[in-house]
């Protein structure tokens, strides 16, 4: 991540940090305040305890500098790099009380982001030579979505919509609630016109008949093909014939990811990159004099 990206997320990141400190620090880190002299200066290293892809170093640097501009932060390994057990990703020097107060917050962020980046990298690597792009979903940790989506990008994946506000996605419940595909699409375009909104429209289909209905109706940018097996997906793609962007979703695992990508579908969406992913083991330790 570069400074431009930090600038783009700064308001959201600042709110996240403020809430996290309220949750974790409250009226003070009394353990550190009680045992560590106020002016004590120390050094700490971020140790890698598990092989993977490192993510969140730029976030960690921003947090430490936001809380104490005098802290010295030395980046040794950049975000997105492959790391191995025993390596030091960054070193930090400054007030020990500050380092210890922020230790868990930084570790929670970096371990989660690195776990997501590692899983994403593994999945992307399976289809890196193919046309298909791997994209994430909204199945994320509340309050951490923006960080988790950054981690997906660090791992080599792509982001789907950020939330409910930046894209129209007509899923099965929307279609059924509207009274069918045609009514859902017509109502959507009426709404967008009335509100003066310019949003892309994606619609979920559950079978080939629904694909045919969407093609006859038009008015969308992307067709999601949900829980299609490989054979049916190929038939759907032949019907669509590149007239719209296509996305496969549902029932796609690391084991069959490449088979789905070989169909030539434009996107495969997966919650596996962020949902229930294992955090990467990292440790922040003071260096003894």
Which member of 43, 49, 66, 104 is catalytic?
Answer: 104
Give the max Cα distance, the chain.
73
Tokens 């994209």 — which residue? 135
Cα–Cα distance measured from residue 23 to residue 17, given in angstroms and rounded to the nearest whole number = 10
CA distances from 20 to 99, 101, 231 (A): 15, 11, 47
Q: Is 136 a catalytic residue?
A: no
Cα–Cα distance measured from residue 225 to residue 239, given in angstroms and rounded to the nearest whole number = 12
Cα–Cα distance measured from residue 186 to residue 204, given in angstroms and rounded to the nearest whole number = 15
Which member of 122, 133, 171, 235 is catalytic?
Answer: 171
Q: Is 226 a catalytic residue?
A: yes
DSSP state of 221: S
Q: Is 139 a catalytic residue?
A: yes
Q: Is 161 a catalytic residue?
A: no
Q: How many residues does the chain have?
A: 289
Q: Is 104 a catalytic residue?
A: yes
Which member of 29, 61, 148, 204 is catalytic?
Answer: 204
- The pair phi, psi for residue 201, each rounded to 5°, is -120, 125
Which member of 148, 226, 247, 266 is catalytic?
Answer: 226
Cα–Cα distance measured from residue 188 to residue 167, given in angstroms and rounded to the nearest whole number = 11
279 by Cβ neighbours in 10 Å (0-12 / 13-18 / 19+) ranks as middle
Cα–Cα distance measured from residue 105 to residue 60, given in angstroms and rounded to the nearest whole number = 9
CA distances from 160 to 153, 269, 281 (A): 11, 8, 27
Which member of 49, 133, 139, 258 is catalytic?
Answer: 139
- The H or E element that residue 182 is part of is helix 181-195
**Which sequence positions are flagged as catalytic?**
104, 139, 171, 204, 226
């Amino acid at each position: 991540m570069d400074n431009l990206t930090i600038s783009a997320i700064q308001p959201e990141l600042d709110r996240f940090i403020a809430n996290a400190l309220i949750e974790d620090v409250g009226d003070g880190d009394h353990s550190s305040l009680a045992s560590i002299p106020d002016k004590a200066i120390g050094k700490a290293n971020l140790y890698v305890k598990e092989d993977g892809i490192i993510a969140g170093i730029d976030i960690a640097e921003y947090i430490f500098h936001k809380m104490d501009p005098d802290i010295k932060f030395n980046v040794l390994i950049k975000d997105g790099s492959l790391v191995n057990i025993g390596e030091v990703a960054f070193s930090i020097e400054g007030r020990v009380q500050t380092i210890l107060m922020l230790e868990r917050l930084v570790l929670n962020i970096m371990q989660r982001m690195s776990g997501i980046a590692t899983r994403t990298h593994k999945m992307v690597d399976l289809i890196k030579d193919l046309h298909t792009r791997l994209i994430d979903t909204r199945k994320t940790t509340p309050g951490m979505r923006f960080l988790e989506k950054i981690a997906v990008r660090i791992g080599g994946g792509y982001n789907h919509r950020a939330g409910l506000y930046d894209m129209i996605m007509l899923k099965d419940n929307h279609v059924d609630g509207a009274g069918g595909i045609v009514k859902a699409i017509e109502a959507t375009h009426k709404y967008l016109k009335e509100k003066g909104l310019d949003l892309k429209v994606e619609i979920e289909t559950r079978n080939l008949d629904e694909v045919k209905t969407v093609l006859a109706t038009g008015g969308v940018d992307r067709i999601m093909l949900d829980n299609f097996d490989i054979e049916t997906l190929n038939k759907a793609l032949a019907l669509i014939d590149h007239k719209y962007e296509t996305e496969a979703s549902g029932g796609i695992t690391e084991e069959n990811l490449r088979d789905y990508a070989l169909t030539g579908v434009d996107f495969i969406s997966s919650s596996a990159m962020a949902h229930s992913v294992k955090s990467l083991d990292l440790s922040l330790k003071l260096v003894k004099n």
